[in-house]
Chains A and B, each alone.
Chain A
Amino acid sequence: MKAIRLGNKIVRTLVRDRMYYPDRLIVDTFGIIVRCGVLLVLYWYVFSLNDGMINNTTYIVAAWSMFFYFAFSVFRLRDISRAIMQDVQSGNVEILFSKPVSYLSYRMWWQVGAGLYPFLVISLVGTIALALIVGLPATMSVGIFIPTVVLVVFLGTLLSLFLYAVVGLLAFWIEDINPVFWIVDKTVMILGGSYLPVALFPDFMYKIALWSPFGASQFITHTVYETWATEWVMKIGIQVFWVLVVAIIVSVLFAKAREKVSVNGG
């Protein structure tokens, strides 16, 4: 209960901070227009060259799938890796370990709080803009769409936090986690369906995206396809499985990391 109260306090404080200083929101909006906007224009051209259909997927569905990826990326959950590395490199971790709160849950709450406001605003504004520009696919008007999207975002958030926390915790053993971070991040980017929507994946790549934790963390991009109505139970099950597995890995790694640190005070 105490931990939840602390988390709630951290999130509320950071959301207020982001609301008060809207610079980051402007930059995030600008960034998503640059990356996602240019990509949508290009795909519009590519789909029009192929009579509006590639791999039985229409432009509207592909556009929404990519938009969901970029909107979710605004959450910046991946930044937890570098935050942990900076704590380790600067020695700040010693101070945080001596506090009566769990270091990892503090870092996770912080990450959620820092990204929540831009994520919500950009998702809302982007959804309205995209609905007006390209329209809504029929799959988004199905009754299960909104509840399952909320669930998938929640599980995707947990899985992303755990995945990137594993990378961050490696900073206790290796001096620079950046190379590992790049590889994990790009794997998530490819299998998540960022620049290439999942519907255009070759069969083997789709299977990897489906069964790996990297792809599972971005199942939000799968929600607009027709197959979602029949596959959502399985996909949410896969997410739950990976959340549990990666959570166990995080707790084991964290316990080992704690043993390596000796807090001397001063």
Chain B
Amino acid sequence: MMKEIHFALYAIKKNIQSSAELRTSFLTNIVGMAINNTAFIIIWVFFVKSVGVINGWTAADIIGLLGFGVLSYGIVFSAAAGIRKLADYVAGGGFDRFMLSPKNLLMRVATSSFNVSALGDIVFGLACLVIYGLLVQVSFAQIFSIALLVLISVVVFLAAAIAAYSASFLFADANSVTSGLFELFTTPSLFHGGAFQGATRLVFTFLIPSLVVGALPVEIVKNVSLEQFAVVGIVAVVWFFLSLKLFSWGVKKYESTNFMTFGN
């Protein structure tokens, strides 16, 4: 296992070094993505100004929500951007070269690509969490909670990405389908958390774990509760193992369409 992690870290390092070669593009992507993300803050802050506080959610909480959501997105897609290319790999036969590799298949696919703009997400997410911390004046216990909840968000985000992109094995040209499935997860994760009540809250916590990425962590930080911690922790673990199962099941369904491009 340690060997696999060591290999993954090595691959991520090489991916970053390779992307950084195009310095101007590298920097403009990071800055551009950070500016791009502020659009969501503008929208939801004006939303709060127009409709008022809903179920205790203030503008500061929206910043926290985006902090958790965007940071976990950034971490997952800077380290494991290859997952998003799974549909292309399967459709083009490129998946064969990963199967021939002696390394862990999922880890090899995940670290096969790097998304520069995801670094902009990390910068933006961290800035949001720092601003959120200052606005709500977090205690030491809350800082510890935030760190732990970021870890849970990352696990859920990774699990959702693996689960959605595992659909690549089921369709001939699955790019649009997998993107649609993943959007089903990501879109509500950036929505105002206070507006999810009743049935929608249950659906988007357990069936599609969008709220576990941002809305629930913000509510836990506001009122640190072990029960809620346990719920998001269990959802994260269940979804992670479920996604691994889906991936393995999908791989068994895989039929090669390779064009003899083992080395590319």
Contacts and interface: CB of A to CB of B under 8 A. Distances in A.
Interface of A: 23-24, 27, 30-31, 34-35, 38-39, 41-43, 45-46, 49-50, 54-55, 174-176, 178-180, 182-183, 185-187, 189-190, 194-196, 200-202, 205
Contacts of A175: 22, 24-25
A201 B46 contact: yes
Given A39-B191, A45-B195, A175-B25, A202 B46 contact: yes
A24 B176 contact: yes
15 contacts: A23-B177, A30-B180, A34-B184, A38-B188, A43-B195, A54-B50, A174-B24, A178-B32, A179-B31, A179-B33, A179-B35, A179-B36, A182-B32, A195-B47, A200-B47
Contacts of A201: 46, 50
B56 to A, nearest CB: 12
Contact of B43 (A27, A55, A196): A196
Contact of A179 (B29, B44, B47): B29
A187 B180 CA distance: 23
Nearest to A57: B50
B178 to A, nearest CB: 10
A54 B54 CA distance: 13
Contacts of A55: 50
A238 to B, nearest CB: 22
Contacts of A43: 195
B30 to A, nearest CB: 9
Contacts, number: 97
B28 interface: yes
A51 to B, nearest CB: 12
Interface of B: 22, 24-25, 28-29, 31-33, 35-36, 39, 42-44, 46-47, 49-52, 54, 117, 173, 176-177, 179-180, 183-184, 187-188, 191-192, 195-197, 200
A38 B22 CA distance: 39
A50 B197 CA distance: 15
A47 B173 CA distance: 40
B25 to A, nearest CB: 4
A35 B54 CA distance: 20
A29 B187 CA distance: 15
Contact of A196 (B22, B31, B50, B54): B50
Nearest to A199: B50
Q: Most B CB atoms within 10 A — which of A38, A175, A186?
A: A38
Given A175-B25, A183-B35, A190-B39, A34 B197 contact: no
Closest CB pairs A-B (n = 10): A179-B32, A186-B39, A182-B36, A27-B176, A42-B195, A200-B50, A176-B25, A179-B28, A27-B180, A34-B184
Contacts of A23: 173, 176-177
B214 to A, nearest CB: 14
Contacts of B24: 174-175
A183 B39 CA distance: 9
A111 B180 CA distance: 20
Which has the most chain B C-beta neighbours within 10 Å: A35, A196, A201? A196
Contact of A200 (B28, B33, B35, B51): B51
A34 B183 contact: yes
Contacts of A178: 29, 32, 117
A196 B47 contact: yes
A54 B195 CA distance: 15
B43 A182 contact: no
A179 B32 CA distance: 4
A159 B173 CA distance: 32
A178 B46 CA distance: 26
B49 A183 contact: no
Contact of B200 (A41, A54, A174, A189): A41
B176 A183 contact: no
A183 B36 contact: yes
Given A54-B51, A196-B43, A183 B184 contact: no
B190 to A, nearest CB: 9
Given A27-B177, A41-B200, A186-B39, 16 more contacts: A27-B180, A38-B191, A42-B195, A42-B200, A45-B197, A49-B54, A54-B50, A54-B51, A176-B28, A178-B117, A179-B33, A179-B35, A190-B39, A195-B47, A200-B46, A202-B49
B28 A34 contact: no
B29 A46 contact: no
A180 B117 CA distance: 12
Contacts of B35: 179, 182-183
A180 to B, nearest CB: 7
